[in-house]
Amino acid sequence: ETFEFMHSVHAGANITKTKTVYDLKTLGDGSIDKYKCRLVAKGFSQQHGDDFDETWAPVSQLLSMRALCSLALTHDLQLHHMDVSTAFLASKIDERFNIYVELPERFSGPGGERYAKLRKRLYGLKQAAHDWFNLQEKFIMDFDSSFVKSKSEPCMYTSKVGDRVCVILVYVDDYLIACNDDEYVNQFLGKFKEFLGAQKVKHLGTPKNLLQMNVDVQKESIELSQKKHIEKCAEKFGLKDADCSRVITPMEEGDKSLKKAAAPDPSLPYREIVGSLLWIARCTRPDIAHAVAYLGQFSCNYDSSHFNAAKRVLKYLIRTKDLCLTFRKPSSKKTTIRVFNDADWASDRTDRKSMSGGILYVNGSPVNWLSKRQTTVALSSTESEVYAMSVACTDALHVWSLLS
């Protein structure tokens, strides 16, 4: 019931193209879970006003996910992972819009139809994520009137009634739930299945694989790692464990003297490797954050010297792929926020701008970190450190607001 087939479309109607996308979905251990084929719309061919209106859709921050893990350990909350299959197809097309699509090649309706009128949101439509977010948010708020939407994290909902505490964090179609009442979670799951269909909603139990991260939940600790993802990157860029035995740091001192190339070398997958490293740095590896932030400056002007420096970071990751980001249960339930920050004054030899670095802990667990190039030239080491402190305090205030 996603669309109705049509032999033709009336003159003047905008027709959105479609295509098929193929993918492999893997489990936490790297094994294949399923072969996926999805029909998606080419949203760039839609016309504003005729096919869509609002398109914004918030996504939860990784910081919020790590903060929730820390709070779960502190307050003895049980973590649950839920997933919704083909989530965007759950929301129906707004009656104000008539969206027509052309079916991909080698595909047609039972009577040879080449066109279709959409009844539900296809993946790829500009408004698909926006409408899905509104649909699932309405369900959560209607399920229990005690839920309150966070003012700092638009994808976090909290309910506290008596001794029962439930926090729901949404990442598109993945749900991380922290609650001290399993029966309440089962009620939520049952209603969600009634709302979307029993086949769509899956309760995956205690989180094990979340956003390409392996999650190991113990009674006194939670470990996050990306070993399989690092191995996948090593295979993609042709690196082996034997090549990495001597790499003990992400960067060499000489790497800080790299200069921009006159033009990007299209034969090198530099942007791809930096993008892969950036995701790993954001998720679980603060130890490479500075190296990746530095290499990101050359995304439009790179050559073999930059690519070799990026491969060195990946080699370091391969050598240390078993390292985990560990959250430990604190001895006290009193919430504490601690921030450490610094700056290397005038470190960039081309324009003498400084780099800010910092890490933020909640109850002794690292939930956020940054390595960021400053936008102005500091006239002294004190000035560069005050600038870095300002950025770090901004993050601290956000986390304080989130926890409140």
Q: Mind spelling out the 3-state secondary structure of the chain?
A: CCEEEECCCCCCCCEEEEEEEEEEEECCCCCEEEEEEEEEECHHHCCECCCECCCCCCCCCHHHHHHHHHHHHHCCCEEEEEEECCHHHHCECCCCCCCEEECCCCCCCCCCCCEEEECECCCCCCCHHHHHHHHHHHHHHHHCCCCEECCCCCCEEEEEECCEEEEEEEECCEEEEEECCHHHHHHHHHHHHHHHCCCCEEECCCCCEECCEEEEECCCEEEEECHHHHHHHHHHCCCCHHHHCCCCCCCCHHHHHCCCCCCCCCCCCHHHHHHHHHHHHHHCCHHHHHHHHHHHHHCCCCCHHHHHHHHHHHHHHHHCCCCCEEEECCCCCCCCEEEEEEEECCCCCCCCCCEEEEEEEECCEEEEEEEEECCCCCCCHHHHHHHHHHHHHHHHHHHHHHHC
In sequence order, what are the residues at sequence separation of 6 or more whose Cβ sits closer than 8 angstroms to the Cβ of residue 321? 225, 226, 227, 230, 231
What is the rounded distance in angstroms from the CA atom of residue 38 to the CA atom of residue 23?
Answer: 9
What is the rounded distance in angstroms from the CA atom of residue 259 to the CA atom of residue 303?
Answer: 10
Does this model's pTM top 0.85? yes
Backbone angles phi, psi at 323, to 5 degrees: -70, 145
pLDDT at 327: 96
Which of 254-285 are b and which e, b meaning 16 or more Cβ less than 10 Å from the residue's Cβ? ebeebeebeebeeebebeebbebbbbbbbbbb
- In this prediction, residues 356-370 reach a mean pLDDT of 94
pLDDT at 28: 67
pLDDT at 94: 85
Q: How many CA atoms lie within 13 A of 386 on its CB side?
A: 8
- In this prediction, residues 344-362 reach a mean pLDDT of 88
pLDDT cut 70: percent of the chain above it: 99
pLDDT at 293: 92
pLDDT tens per residue across span 10-54: 888 899 999 999 998 887 677 888 899 999 999 999 999 889 999
Q: How many CA atoms lie within 13 A of 287 on its CB side?
A: 14
Residue 204 tokens read as: 């995956």
Q: How many residues are recorded in the chain? A: 404
- In this prediction, residues 254-273 reach a mean pLDDT of 87
Statement: residue 256 has pLDDT above 80: no
Statement: residue 202 has pLDDT above 70: yes
Q: How many CA atoms lie within 13 A of 229 on its CB side?
A: 23
pLDDT tens per residue across span 96-119: 889 999 999 888 889 999 999 999
pLDDT at 77: 96
Statement: residue 326 has pLDDT above 70: yes
Place of tokens 């003047």: 12
User: What does the mean pLDDT of the chain come to?
Assistant: 92
Residue 181 tokens read as: 């009442």
Across 17-31, 122-136, 214-228, least confident range:
17-31
Residue 397 tokens read as: 């205030």
What is the rounded distance in angstroms from the CA atom of residue 240 to the CA atom of residue 233?
Answer: 10
pLDDT tens per residue across span 277-320: 999 999 999 999 999 999 998 999 999 999 999 999 999 999 99
pLDDT tens per residue across span 155-178: 999 999 999 999 999 999 999 999
